Amino acid sequence: MSSVSSSAPVSEIGRVAVDLGPRSYDILVGGGLIARAGGLIAPRLKDRRALIVTDATVARFYLDELARSLEAAGIRQESIVLPPGEATKDFRHLEDLANRLLQARIERGSMILALGGGVIGDLTGFAASIVLRGIDFIQIPTTLLAQVDSSVGGKTGINTAQGKNLVGSFYQPRLVLADIDALDTLPRRELLAGYAEVVKYGLINDPAFFTWLETHGADLVDGDGAARRHAVMTSCAAKAAVVAADEREADQRALLNLGHTFGHALEAECGYTGELLHGEAVAIGMVMAFELSAMLGLGPSEDAARVARHLASVGLPTSPAAIGRGFDASRLVHHMRQDKKVKDGRLTFVLARGIGRAFLSRDVEMGQVEALLERSLAA
Ligand SMILES: NC(=O)c1ccc[n+]([C@@H]2O[C@H](COP(=O)([O-])OP(=O)(O)OC[C@H]3O[C@@H](n4cnc5c(N)ncnc54)[C@H](O)[C@@H]3O)[C@@H](O)[C@H]2O)c1
Ligand SMILES: O=C(O)C(=O)C[C@@H](O)[C@H](O)[C@H](O)COP(=O)(O)O
Ligand SMILES: [Zn+2]
């Protein structure tokens, strides 16, 4: 196994450790991991039973392969298949999933496997944290977004009528298996959405990675396995370091929210219908965070332009105007006030002094944010 390196062959299993004391776990990254999952999971099982939770699209591609691998390793498996899409991350599907796990007579010693994107990972992780007051679970992320972000760090949850991810828990997986080959079947739009979260790590604190992405991002998007492996490893290592330092977002973990305060507001307005994907919203939100920083005189406007240029070069949207529907700035501000980073009624913003120099600020006036939104919506 290797640690972060860009030259390792795709089939070699890379390992990133998430160091959280008794809740520590490994992220394994490489090709062919779903076919090898049984052997990798078996040592982590308390009993020889696994319940796979997935969505109908992912099931079509990968459920049989995973089931065969588990059975070959002597692990009994059953599966629960949910509808694909962001709308599944809600109270109704949480209730349905909890009931189906209980009907399957799940026990505390069983293992739940979340096979899919961030929707399946967030929903399944939340269910795992509450059914029988906690059952071990493993993330098997199949989207780029889930491999670089949602499968790592233990944020689980669902959306509510009030906004994104407003009900959930911190509940760490026991293992993450990121099979790079699974990205070959991912639609380009979904891949790009995940790419936005990859870019995020460069923008937060790794300018050299951002520069690497400016050179290699297009190859990654077009299917270069080595570039994908390197980006997933680098992203996971970056996230693991932040999470190890601040697991429950007391402070610096909020940097991982770069672009999300704007992004979540846009997603809430679009209603989780697939009109705007999470990663697309984050791409727009990151540009707005850089523009806000420039507007406040805290960061260079050239960097805001450079971020927008790179995201646009791979085909990501960079402004709310690109969504192709009207927004009301005051309604977006209303959603932003529901953000989990609000403290004593004031929002914490992730701003940037430049690329790779993100920081947290509680000094932003919402009037300034509304003015920026008005400007972007008119553009
Ligand atoms: N917990 C966290 O830290 C965290 C971090 C980032 C995002 N998220 C959440 O993740 C969610 C978005 O996740 P996502 O972008 O993975 O979306 P998703 O889970 O909806 O998956 C995207 C689509 O791709 C399909 N799909 C998945 N894998 C596939 C594959 N290999 N081949 C073909 N199709 C495949 C799915 O069926 C789905 O239709 C959002 O709800 C977001 O809030 C959570
Ligand atoms: O892991 C984190 O911390 C993040 O903020 C990662 C984000 O990409 C992710 O979208 C997360 O779900 C947002 O968290 P939230 O607490 O704002 O819902
Ligand atoms: Zn995100």
pLDDT tens for 45-60 read 989 999 999 999 999 9
CA atoms within 13 A on the CB side of 225: 16
pLDDT tens for 247-270 read 999 999 999 999 999 999 999 999
CATH-assigned architecture of domain 189-378? Up-down Bundle (1.20)
Provide the percentage of residues in the chain whose pLDDT is more than 70: 98
Domain borders along the chain are 14-187, 189-378
Report the topology of domain 14-187.
Rossmann fold (3.40.50)
Residue listed under structure tokens 């999933």: 97
> How far, in Å, CA of 356 to CA of 369, rounded?
22
Low-confidence ranges of the chain (pLDDT < 50): 1-3, 5
pLDDT value for 266: 96
pLDDT value for 3: 43
pLDDT tens for 82-124 read 999 999 999 999 999 999 999 999 999 999 999 999 999 999 9
Answer yes or no: is 303 a known binding residue: no
Measured in angstroms, how far is the CA atom of residue 30 from the centroid of ligand 3? 22
Answer yes or no: is 121 a known binding residue: yes
- Those residues whose C-beta lies under 8 Å from the C-beta of residue 145, and which sit 6 or more positions away, are 117, 118, 190, 193, 194, 197, 278, 279
CA 353 to chain CA centroid, Å, is: 24
pLDDT value for 7: 64
Q: Which atom of ligand 1 is nearest to the CA of 146?
A: 16
> How far, in Å, CA of 188 to CA of 203, rounded?
23
Q: Say which of 247, 249, 280, 291 is annotated catalytic.
A: 249
pLDDT value for 1: 42
- Give yes or no: 249 in active site: yes
Measured in angstroms, how far is the CA atom of residue 20 from the centroid of ligand 3? 21
pLDDT value for 6: 55
